[in-house]
Amino acid sequence: MSRIPVLVVGDAPNLASGLARIKRDILTGLWNAKDRLNIDVADLSFDYDDSPWPWPVSAVHDGENWAERDIIPAWTRYFGTRKGAIFTIWDPARCFGLASRAQELPVQLWGYFALDAVDATGGISGPAAATVRKYRRPLAYGRWGAQVLGRPFGNVTAYLPHGISTEVFYDKKLDRVLIGAVAANNPRKDFGLLFETWARMRDMRPELKFWLHTNSAVGPAWSVPELVEQFGLKTALILTGTEEALDDETLATLYSQCLATIGPGLGEGFGYPVVESLACGAPVVGVDYAGAAELIPRGDWRVAASGWRYESVHVLKRPVVSAQALANATLAAATVDQETRNYCRASVTHLDWKALWPRWEAQIALWLQELR
């Protein structure tokens, strides 16, 4: 039986983005399972730096259009006229041109779609919905995303979470003295809310210390030094990630020093920091909205929006959150007892890749049946 080609498209595996991490993990799984699945695997990557990987990689040249003009040459280079699948790991809006151009190839479209908000209709519409309709196999991160992605089809689509390694992220049994947050410096991560919340928490418990891990101290959305100055947290904040990236072992050590962590996102498709924190035994408090909410295991750790606003050309619905409500919930969650640590860890054991990958491999095997 001939092998079926699969071209995976998305952020380059050398990048530090969440989407790159997802794609890297899935590509690793596909590459290791290529003989069992009887597939050939190749990678078309945005912002690729020529670093070596076990699988073949081509760089995206048409970055402005998210690989629209690259998809046919990349497929032809690796697979000629063979029938197979193109598997994109991006949000629907980025894939509109690529999905249209791929209609000229003998392929099915599979998509693992990042969604972190709905629009004013309560779903997705316009080009994003039109993109999803072009896909034979749309796949969501979780139940919430499956409901949103299913609306263009009038059903609920399939979902599969991605995972972590609990051999890296685990409770290291350290003294817990921090309230942490791990988030990129971008508009969707509400650092203004985060710092106001921390300031209110310190007013109630002056001994608290705070930890922020982010990629940039100044811009593109927030100035951390200005937030520190205005909210009076100069002596209370530990800042990491802005000078050099931390490895996962070091991140796990810091999570293990947290009484609790805060998810400052205004909507997450998944939320790696949520799962990492819980795996290290630290409760997570965040907004009760979008995909990350279903990963936060207790209702009192999920804070309801006090209002809503809309942003961007896609008219995305974003929550308005009370800093005092977030502070109160985080203080209530902050604890060092072993029972809570064990509860947190147990809530994400199913997301360890060792337990999760067999589900992924079985799903891919089902999709491949149509191509044989």
- pTM attached to this predicted model: 0.96
Say how far apart CA 318 and CA 188 lie, in whole Å: 9
| % pLDDT > 90, the chain | 95
Query: What average pLDDT score do residues 328-355 get?
Result: 96
225 DSSP 8-state letter: H
Q: Give CA separation, 302 vs 198, 253, 270, 286, 348, in Å.
A: 17, 25, 15, 5, 16
Whether the predicted pLDDT of 156 surpasses 90: no
Q: What is the pLDDT of residue 151?
A: 84
Q: Which residues pair with 238 in a beta bridge?
A: 211
* Secondary structure class of 234 (helix, strand, coil): coil
Residue 17, both tokens: 């983005």
Q: What is the pLDDT of residue 354?
A: 97
- 45-60 pLDDT per residue, tens: 999 999 999 999 999 9
The residue assigned the tokens 């350290």 is 174
Q: What is the pLDDT of residue 335?
A: 85
Task: Tell me the residue type at 178.
Answer: L
- 77-126 pLDDT per residue, tens: 999 999 999 999 999 999 999 999 999 999 999 999 999 999 999 999 99
Mean pLDDT of all residues belonging to the chain: 96
- With cut-offs at 50, 70 and 90, classify the pLDDT of residue 1: confident
Structural domains of the chain in order of their starting residue, each with its CATH number: 4-163+352-369 (3.40.50.11930), 178-351 (3.40.50.2000)
- 345-358 pLDDT per residue, tens: 999 999 999 999 99
